[in-house]
Amino acid sequence: MIDFELTEDHEAIRQTVRDFAVKEVAPRIKELDEKQQFDRSILDKMAELNLLGVCIPEEYGGAGFDYISLGLVCEELEAVDTSLRVVMSVHTGLNSLTLYTWGTDEQKRKYLAPQARGEKIATYGLTEPGAGSDVVGARSTARREADEWVLNGEKMWISLADVADNFLFFCWTDEEKRRKRDHSGMSCFIVERGMKGFSSGTIHGKMGIRAGNTGYFSLQDVRVPKGNLIGEEGEGFKIAMFALEQGRYTVAAGATGVIRASRDASVAYALERETFGTKIANHQLVKQKIAEMEADYEMSHLLWLRAGWLKNQGLPNARATSLAKWQATVRSEKAASMAIEVHGANGYSNDYPVERYLRNCKAAIIYEGTRDIHTLMQADWALGMKKEKPARKILPPYKPSDARETVAAT
């Protein structure tokens, strides 16, 4: 049975994050977006609030909360700007939760704990110039030499590529299986920025998420110790898919924030703007748009809550997470577009935030599985052509506390 009532901890987290995003980032986000400038200090402030490790157990430097908490953080951050939620997706969802689940205790203490505390920033490297949804089309490789692995390859469209300290690098460790497109020949490694042969760069001219850092990184004969292999050799594809599920969840919750922001901006504008001698809030077609945004918000919010609840219980959730990601991202594009129409010509100007919402939300329909990929996945599940695999219990049981001090008070 799903309990829809948030705990006091959940409410406190939501209010803390909302206050942070509205007070610290919202007044500056227009300028950052125009300049295509990423403000590194925002990460430090998020770390001070223990957001970067919000759902990582306290044993490894985190705040010890649950998936619902992670979802609330993502929704509140993206209600102000997508660039904020992206940090949670790649640092916490794709990287840290993967390390927590697949890493050794030594790896967790060396890499995960500093990440959870925000002392180190992390990201995830799967996409390549010639390989996106087609994961086995990747060309990156690793070869074993004594007690080291020698890594080569280039990753593209990587969030925080020019900011992160630690990277998850997916590549082929079996050349014969690569030729056969057998994904059991892929493995995953931890790479540090300072390693010889590592380089990175920033992509400019993006349509949206201009206040975020997106780029590429390249490895040329980068040597990593054998202890930097995550899981077992040949488990890279499985680990990558696990990571993407965590990322999809954060994207779903974040996209829900875009819907809410679009609705709120439209409501405020409709109650202020007048045409034909009355406020546009009285026009039926304006009401229709706002009503659809309201419905889309509630549906998307419930979908990610359900996925989060399943994750908390350790129940199969791939189908629910995929559905939440698919629907929330598609509905966020719809909501942002309608919000521009409610604003009329003003919506086409960056004097109002709705044009930024539309530019930003488009990326989420592409990454962590495109709209088309999720459409096919949902059809295959419905048709019985795809079976949902058992889930593993990832996080320890969440125990609400009325006086928890691991997330800073507002």
* Tens digit of each residue's pLDDT (9 = 90 or more) over 279-293: 999 999 999 999 999
- In the numeric block, the tokens 């997706």 are attached to 89
φ/ψ bin of 77: left (φ > 0), alpha (ψ from -120 to 50), beta (otherwise): alpha
Q: What is the pLDDT of residue 135?
A: 93
* Tens digit of each residue's pLDDT (9 = 90 or more) over 342-396: 999 999 999 999 999 999 999 999 999 999 999 999 999 999 999 988 876 678 7
φ/ψ bin of 124: left (φ > 0), alpha (ψ from -120 to 50), beta (otherwise): beta
Give the phi and the psi of residue 294 in degrees, each rounded to 5.
-60, -45
Q: What is the pLDDT of residue 389?
A: 82
Q: How far is CA 289 from CA 130, 239, 266, 280, 328, in A?
A: 39, 41, 9, 12, 17
The pLDDT of residue 397 is above 80: no
396 against 143, higher pLDDT: 143
Q: What is the pLDDT of residue 399?
A: 62
* Tens digit of each residue's pLDDT (9 = 90 or more) over 148-201: 999 999 999 999 999 999 999 999 999 999 999 999 999 999 999 999 999 999
In contact, 366 and 156? CB cutoff 8 Å: no
Q: What is the pLDDT of residue 401?
A: 52
List of domains in the chain: 8-121 (1.10.540.10), 123-234 (2.40.110.10), 238-383 (1.20.140.10)
Name beta bridge partners: 144.
149
Q: Identify the CA nearest to 89 among candidates 80, 100, 77.
A: 77
Pull the structure tokens for residue 144: 């074993």
Task: Give the number of residues written for the chain.
Answer: 410
Q: Regarding beta strands 229-230 and 274-275, do their DSSP bridges make them parallel or antiparallel, or are they unpaired?
A: unpaired
Task: Please spell the DSSP secondary structure of 52-103, one letter per residue.
Answer: TTTTS-GGGTS----HHHHHHHHHHHHTT-HHHHHHIIIIIIIIIHHHHHHS
- In the numeric block, the tokens 């939440």 are attached to 324
CA–CA separation, 328 and 255 (whole Å): 6
The pLDDT of residue 407 is above 90: no
Angle between helices 67-78 and 284-313 (to 10 degrees): 150
Q: What is the pLDDT of residue 391?
A: 75
The pLDDT of residue 67 is above 60: yes
Catalytic residue among 5, 368, 388, 405: 368
Greatest Cα pair distance, the chain, in angstroms, is 80
Pull the structure tokens for residue 20: 């942070």
CA–CA separation, 265 and 354 (whole Å): 7
Q: Regarding beta strands 141-145 and 148-159, do their DSSP bridges make them parallel or antiparallel, or are they unpaired?
A: antiparallel
Q: Identify the CA nearest to 335 among candidates 296, 369, 365.
A: 296
Q: 142 in helix, strand or coil? A: strand
Q: Which residues contact 235 (CB under 8 A, 6 or more apart)?
A: 102, 187, 188
Look over the chain and give the mean of its residue pLDDT values, rounded to a whole number: 94
What is the mean pLDDT of the segment spanning 71-87?
98
The pLDDT of residue 400 is above 90: no
For CA atoms 33, 34, 37, 42, the dihedral sign is negative
In contact, 155 and 169? CB cutoff 8 Å: yes
CA–CA separation, 389 and 402 (whole Å): 36
Instruction: Please state the pTM of the whole predicted model.
Output: 0.94
Q: What is the pLDDT of residue 403?
A: 37
User: 31 an active-site residue?
Assistant: no
For CA atoms 287, 288, 293, 294, the dihedral sign is positive
CA–CA separation, 282 and 399 (whole Å): 47
Q: What is the pLDDT of residue 402?
A: 42
In contact, 238 and 111? CB cutoff 8 Å: no
CA–CA separation, 59 and 165 (whole Å): 21
H or E segment at 200? strand 198-202
Q: Identify the CA nearest to 92 among candidates 134, 65, 123, 64.
A: 123
The pLDDT of residue 331 is above 90: yes
In contact, 89 and 82? CB cutoff 8 Å: no
Q: Return the ∠ at Cα 361 (arms to 358 and 362), rounded to 5°.
A: 90
What is the mean pLDDT of the segment spanning 216-235?
98
